[in-house]
Amino acid sequence: MWRLNLINTIADQANWIISSDVAIVIADKYPKAQHHYLVLPKAEISSVFNLTREHLPLLEELHLLARNVVEVRGQQWNDFKVGFHAEPSLERVHLHVISQDFVSPCLKRKKHWTSFNTALFVPYEELRDKLQSENSFQRLPPHAYHKLLDSPLQCNQCERICINLPKLKEHLLEHLLNKNGQQKSVIYTKIETSKDKINIMDVTEKNKIKMDHIKQNIRNELRKKILDKNHILIESDRAVVVKADYPKAQYHFRVVAKEDIEDVTKLTSDHLQLLDHMMELAVQIIGKQDHLPSRNFRIGFKADPFWDRLNMHVISDDFYSLSMKRIKHWNSFNTELFLPFQQAYMMLDSEGAIETLSEVEFQKLKEQTPLHCNQCDFQSPLLLALKAHLFTHWQDKESERRTKKQMEDIVKLLDEAKLEDTAKPEAASSREEHEITASTSQKSMDQNQAVGADANAYHQCGPLVNLMNLQHINNPFRNTPARFGIAAKTHPQPTNSMYAPRPHRAGNPLAYAPRPQQGGNPFRNMPPRPQLGGNRFGPHLNRFGPQSKDMMPMFAAPNQQPRFGPKQPQNHRPRAPNQPQNQRPRGPNQPQNQGTRAPNQSKFQ
């Protein structure tokens, strides 16, 4: 029965985009716009006419998942319409989440348009308020329904009324192209005789040229930025430190060379001193971040940089940020697309150049899934699930940090008390101790506030970058009740030793390090590097220059053999050939969403 199509679709978890304990999001099989999703409850509620006031919390959850799927797909919430059909055709109540371009080959009939762009579409808020006030939602009278179906085809973005659906579709495409920066002169596209096949090849080609031009202008922004003193956190004669405009973690800075070097591939061994200097600046900016120890920072270059000027990333390893919106954002820091500083330095020192990956490899790495957590064995194909997971790491670290801070305050207090005891031998009562602890905490808090209010300190130390705001409207986890456990499709996690150990995974600072199976690599016996230690960042320790070869390398364990050993011929980068992380042997638990149907789904077949 075709009315059960949606129920059949959700029976197969492979169709789920995201889900919670109570609802599921799927893609509309016949999307009427560029983005079109359906949110369905797991509970068997056949239609919108069966909803009552009791369902308001469920409705809220559907709406939350609607926001999440928009976030997952990297789209803007304001571009979407979210609501129900007043006269739905298919069973199981479903919330439409649809982008307002309405450009789609599946938009074929007038009804497709009117069902979303007249009163036949009931926005989420309208239904919610109706249930709140009247405890039910009623079907439209037949005459009203047919009248709405006959509504003129008025554009949803301007006053234009079109004579028929093909004309409206042509008009809607104009809007979409205009929105994407298309000039009006090239809007009028050829409509092919075969239905719904619109030839926009010429248009997209011209679009591409224009977009390339715009991109080039943006690329130059970094060059301009280093001249603008307002953006600069630290400046020297050879480089500056600026805050990243779209930070991909809580702390994200760029050290930008003043010298006109396009990117990391243009570096030669002559630039080793420049790299030393850039590291010194990185050390300085890290040192100014009291909130986070230096071991939580990663320093390196993008192997496929967007900006038109050599810039070195200094980024905290939480990677929890509202700007972390796309899979390529994650992969650019957590695969071989990120070239750690020490690796770049070694390459330059031993080979005199940094060899890049091919364009094909770049593309592959950018889109690579599943996404592996950089702090544990968690993995997921969905960025949203990874972000939810990263959030738990962030919370743990914050709580750890707070506890540590409190302990430090107490120790400090005890030290002070000791001094006072020397002068005044009477032991303080436990009640007094408690009072003193409380007052110290208060004092510490006041001090923090004082520091926060100190504009000069703020300027010199740089702002606390991108501190996560749980209540931010764009935060997908805002107001998410814990019980819903929004984690989408959860995949089995590796539990046995068949999985490669973490040091060999992309996302690890050792991503560029050689792997055991690769023969002839001069670094293959190198022990794992420890995390960066705070006190090793002293600017006076210029351990990266050739003159420091006899010193203990900054990133090495104290007894490790020196990394800057005798040079060996190298015709390739010291990494294993094409061993993407997602080709690791699978564990016994296969992902549940691949192919097989559960027995209880047979009733839908």
Partner DNA sequence: GTTCTAGAAC
**CA-CA distance, 133 to 196, in Å (whole number)?**
43
Q: CB of 201: closest distance to DNA in angstroms?
A: 19
* 35: contact with DNA by CB under 7 A: no
- Burial of 70-88, coded b for 16+ CB within 10 Å and e otherwise, reads bbbbebeeeebbbbbbbbb
Per rule CB under 7 A, count of chain residues that contact DNA: 20
Rounded to 5°, the CA angle 369-96-194 comes to 80
Q: CB of 117: closest distance to DNA in angstroms?
A: 12
Alpha helix ranges (H) inside 52-186: 56-72, 110-117, 124-134, 142-149, 165-179
Q: Which stretch binds DNA (CB under 7 A): 106-114, 258-266, 411-419, 457-465?
A: 106-114
* 294: contact with DNA by CB under 7 A: no
Q: Which stretch binds DNA (CB under 7 A): 101-109, 305-313, 489-497, 580-588?
A: 101-109
Pick from 41, 83, 88, 574 the residue near DNA by CB under 7 A. 88
* 193: contact with DNA by CB under 7 A: yes
Burial class for 372, CB neighbours closer than 10 Å (0-12, 13-18, 19+): buried
* 172: contact with DNA by CB under 7 A: no
Comparison of 164 and 559: residue with beta carbon closer to DNA: 164
Q: CB of 146: closest distance to DNA in angstroms?
A: 9
**Strand partners of residue 38:** 26, 96
* 108: contact with DNA by CB under 7 A: yes
* 188: contact with DNA by CB under 7 A: no
* 100: contact with DNA by CB under 7 A: no
* 505: contact with DNA by CB under 7 A: no
Pick from 110, 243, 295, 515 the residue near DNA by CB under 7 A. 110
Q: CB of 187: closest distance to DNA in angstroms?
A: 18
* 295: contact with DNA by CB under 7 A: no
Q: Would you tell me how many other CB atoms lie within 10 Å of the CB of residue 263?
A: 19
AA identity, residue 328: K
**CA-CA distance, 509 to 536, in Å (whole number)?**
17
* 52: contact with DNA by CB under 7 A: no
* 109: contact with DNA by CB under 7 A: yes
* 30: contact with DNA by CB under 7 A: yes
Decide: 19 and 25 in contact? Cβ < 8 Å. yes
85, 94, 96, 313: the active-site residue: 94
Q: List C-alpha distances in Å: 591 to 378, 380, 420, 457, 600.
A: 14, 11, 64, 51, 18
Q: Phi and psi dihedrals of 81, rounded to 5?
A: -105, 140
Comparison of 94 and 491: residue with beta carbon closer to DNA: 94
Q: CB of 47: closest distance to DNA in angstroms?
A: 10
Q: Which two tokens stand for residue 576?
A: 């294993």
Q: List C-alpha distances in Å: 197 to 31, 104, 170.
A: 15, 10, 11
Comparison of 41 and 88: residue with beta carbon closer to DNA: 88
* 81: contact with DNA by CB under 7 A: no
* 115: contact with DNA by CB under 7 A: yes
Q: Which two tokens stand for residue 512?
A: 């560029």
Q: Would you tell me how many other CB atoms lie within 10 Å of the CB of residue 152?
A: 11
94 is catalytic: yes
Report helix, strand or coil for 428.
coil
Q: Phi and psi dihedrals of 341, rounded to 5?
A: -50, -50
* 139: contact with DNA by CB under 7 A: no
* 50: contact with DNA by CB under 7 A: no
Restricted to residues 242-271, the positions that interact with DNA (CB under 7 A) are none
* 288: contact with DNA by CB under 7 A: no
* 9: contact with DNA by CB under 7 A: no
Sheet containing strand 338-340, strands side by side: 232-235, 239-243, 252-257, 311-316, 297-302, 338-340
**Number of alpha carbons in the 13 Å side-chain half-sphere of residue 35:** 23
* 36: contact with DNA by CB under 7 A: no
Q: List C-alpha distances in Å: 362 to 173, 326, 368, 463.
A: 32, 15, 10, 33
Comparison of 33 and 390: residue with beta carbon closer to DNA: 33
* 605: contact with DNA by CB under 7 A: no
Restricted to residues 521-580, the positions that interact with DNA (CB under 7 A) are none
Q: Phi and psi dihedrals of 483, rounded to 5?
A: -65, -20
Q: CB of 124: closest distance to DNA in angstroms?
A: 16
**CA-CA distance, 340 to 575, in Å (whole number)?**
13
* 165: contact with DNA by CB under 7 A: yes
Residue among 381, 397, 392, 378 nearest 505 (CA): 378
* 597: contact with DNA by CB under 7 A: no
AA identity, residue 527: P
Q: Which stretch binds DNA (CB under 7 A): 105-113, 242-250, 325-333, 555-563?
A: 105-113
Comparison of 91 and 336: residue with beta carbon closer to DNA: 91
Range list of β-strands (E), 371-504:
371-372, 379-380
Q: Which stretch binds DNA (CB under 7 A): 48-56, 81-89, 396-404, 484-492?
A: 81-89
* 90: contact with DNA by CB under 7 A: yes
Q: Rounded to the nearest 10 degrees, how much is the dihedral formed by the CA atoms of 283, 300, 503, 329?
A: 120
Q: CB of 446: closest distance to DNA in angstroms?
A: 59
* 154: contact with DNA by CB under 7 A: no
Pick from 74, 123, 152, 166 the residue near DNA by CB under 7 A. 166
- Residues serving a catalytic function are 94
Contacts with DNA by CB under 7 A lie at 2, 5, 29-30, 32, 85, 88-90, 106, 108-110, 112, 115, 164-167, 193
